[in-house]
Amino acid sequence: MSEKARENFGSRFTVIMALAGSAIGLGNIWRFPYMVGEHGGAAFIIIYVLCSLFIALPIFFCESILGKSTGKDTFGALESVAPGTKWKNEGYIALLGSFIIVSYYSVVGGWSVDFLIRSFMNDFKGESFEEAAGIFRHMTSSIWEPIVSLTAFLGLTAAIVAMGIEKGIGRFAKVMMPLLFIMIVIIVVRSCTLPGAGKGIEYMLKPDFSKIDGPAFAAALGQGFFSLSLGVGCVLTYSSYMRKEENVFYTGVWTAIFDTFFAILAGFAIMPAVFSAGLEPSAGPSLVYETLPVIFSRMGPLVPIIFFLAILIAAVTSAMSMLEVLVTWLVDQKGLSRKKATTLFFIACWIVGCVCAVSSKVFSICDFMSSNVFMMFGALVFALVVGWKMKKEDVRTQFTNYGTSHKAGAVFSVVWFLIRWIAPIGIVIIAITNLL
C-alpha cells in the first residue's frame, strides 16, 4: 500500500484515546484490583509503577517507534528496520499472539454482553450470591448462550474495525473512552460511600512491604505488559497510523498514566463494594460475574447496567486493537481490502472463540500461552531490534520527533539504557520465573 493511501487517526487526542482504549480492558477491571490486594496494597502499586516505568513503558516506546517510523504492520516494520534478517519472523508470532488473545478475550467480552442484557432485565434483583453464581455457571456451561454472546461481541468489534482507522476505531474510542471514565467514577462514588467501604479502601491502599517478593515483581510486570497491550504488535500497529507530527514519548506517557489511573479507579469501584457486603475479594470471572452483579444490583437497578456497559466498552476497545493487528497485516502484506480482511479474521477468531467458549481447558491454555510465551517473546524482540539493530541516532530522532520534543530529548539517554539493558534482562528473568 502506498504511503499516501495509508489512513491516520487524525488528532492527537484520538490517538491517545485509541491507545488508552487498547490498554484499558478486562486486565484493569478484574485482575489489577485483586492483585493489589493480594500482593501488599499500596506496596504493590509502587512496584507496579516502577516495573511499568522501567520495563513496560520502554517496550511501549519501542513498539511505537517501530510502527510510527515505518508506517507498516508488525511484519513490514521489522523487515524495514532489519532487512534480510530473521527478526521479521516475530511478525508471525505477534499475529498468532493477537489472534489467540482476541479469540479468548471475546468469550469474556461476550459474557459482558449477556450480563448487560440481564442487567437491563433486572435479573439480579433480590438474588443471593449462590443464585447469581448459578446464573453464571448455567450460562457458561450452556453451549449456545456463550456462542451467541461471543458472536455479538466479536461482530461489534469487527464492525468498528471494518469502518477504518479514523471513522471506525478512532471515532469509537474518542467518544467511548471519556464516557467510560465517567461511568467508572460514578461507580467509585457509589461504592466508596457504602457503609463499611473503608475496609475495601484499606485493602487497596494499606502498604505491606513484607509481601513484596520475586513473585510479586513477576506479577507486577506480567500485569503491566498485559495492561499496556505489549508484545503482540497492538501498539506498533496503532502507532503506524499516527500522523508524522505526533509524539511517541507524549502518547506513551499519557497512555500509561490513563491505564494505571483507570486500574486504580476500578479497584475503588469494586473493593469497597465487596467489603461492604461482608465478602472477601477474589479475582476473575467469579468476582465480576458472580459477586458484583448481586452487590451492584443492591445499590440500585442502574448500577449493574453502568458496570457491565463499562466492561463492554473497555473490552471492545481492547479487542479492536488486537483485531487491527491482524487486519493491518492482511491489508499491508497481502493487499486485501480492509472489509475482506476483517471478515476473514472475524470468521477465524469466531471459530477459535467458540472452541474456547465451550472448553475451559483450551481457554486456559490460550491465556497461559499468550501471557507467558507470545507477549514476553515479542516484547524481547521489540526491545532487541530497537536497542541493538537500529542506530542510536535514528532512535533518538524518532523518540524526540526530529528533535522537536525537548522533554523527550532530556530523558532519551535514560530510555536508551532501559531499552538496551534493563528491559531485555528484566523480561528474561521474569519469563523464566513465570515458566518455572
Rank residues 14 and 260 by Cβ distance to ligand TRP and give the closer one. Answer: 260
Grid coordinates of 69:
517510523
Rank residues 220 and 294 by Cβ distance to ligand TRP and give the closer one. Answer: 220
Query: How many C-alpha atoms does 113 have within 13 Å on its Cβ side?
Result: 21
CB 128, min distance to ligand TRP, A: 30
CB 49, min distance to ligand TRP, A: 16
Report CA 138 to chain centroid distance, whole Å. Answer: 28
Between the alpha carbon of residue 340 and those of residues 91, 96, 227, the distances in Å are 21, 19, 29
CB 412, min distance to ligand TRP, A: 26
CB 300, min distance to ligand TRP, A: 27
The alpha carbon torsion through 296, 300, 302, 306 (nearest 10 deg) reads -20
CB 320, min distance to ligand TRP, A: 9
Residue 344 CA to residue 346 CA, distance in Å, equals 5
Q: Are 101 and 322 in contact (CB under 8 A)?
A: yes
Residue 170 CA to residue 253 CA, distance in Å, equals 19
Between the alpha carbon of residue 320 and those of residues 17, 234, 335, 359, the distances in Å are 13, 9, 20, 24
- Packing angle between helix 338-358 and helix 144-162, nearest 10 degrees? 160
With a CB cutoff of 8 Å and minimum separation 6, the contacts of 181 are 262, 265
The secondary structure element, H or E, covering residue 109 is helix 90-120
Rank residues 239 and 318 by Cβ distance to ligand TRP and give the closer one. Answer: 318
CB 21, min distance to ligand TRP, A: 9
Residue 63 CA to residue 371 CA, distance in Å, equals 17
Task: Enumerate binding residues for ligand TRP (CB under 6 A).
Answer: 22-23, 25-28, 101, 226-227, 229, 232, 234, 318, 321-322, 375
Rank residues 23 and 51 by Cβ distance to ligand TRP and give the closer one. Answer: 23
CB 22, min distance to ligand TRP, A: 5
Name the residue with the smallest CB distance to ligand TRP: 25
- What are residue 314's phi and psi, to 5 degrees? -60, -40
Rank residues 102 and 408 by Cβ distance to ligand TRP and give the closer one. Answer: 102
Rank residues 27 and 426 by Cβ distance to ligand TRP and give the closer one. Answer: 27
Grid coordinates of 113:
454482553
Grid coordinates of 165:
482507522
Rank residues 47 and 101 by Cβ distance to ligand TRP and give the closer one. Answer: 101
CB 68, min distance to ligand TRP, A: 18
Grid coordinates of 73:
504492520
CB 367, min distance to ligand TRP, A: 10
Rank residues 41 and 222 by Cβ distance to ligand TRP and give the closer one. Answer: 222
Cite the DSSP H helix spans in 31-143.
32-38, 42-51, 57-70, 74-81, 90-120, 129-141
If you search the block for the grid coordinates 493487499, which residue do you land on?
Answer: 335
Residue 365 CA to residue 360 CA, distance in Å, equals 9
CB 46, min distance to ligand TRP, A: 20
Rank residues 31 and 171 by Cβ distance to ligand TRP and give the closer one. Answer: 31
Rank residues 294 and 310 by Cβ distance to ligand TRP and give the closer one. Answer: 310
Grid coordinates of 178:
471519556
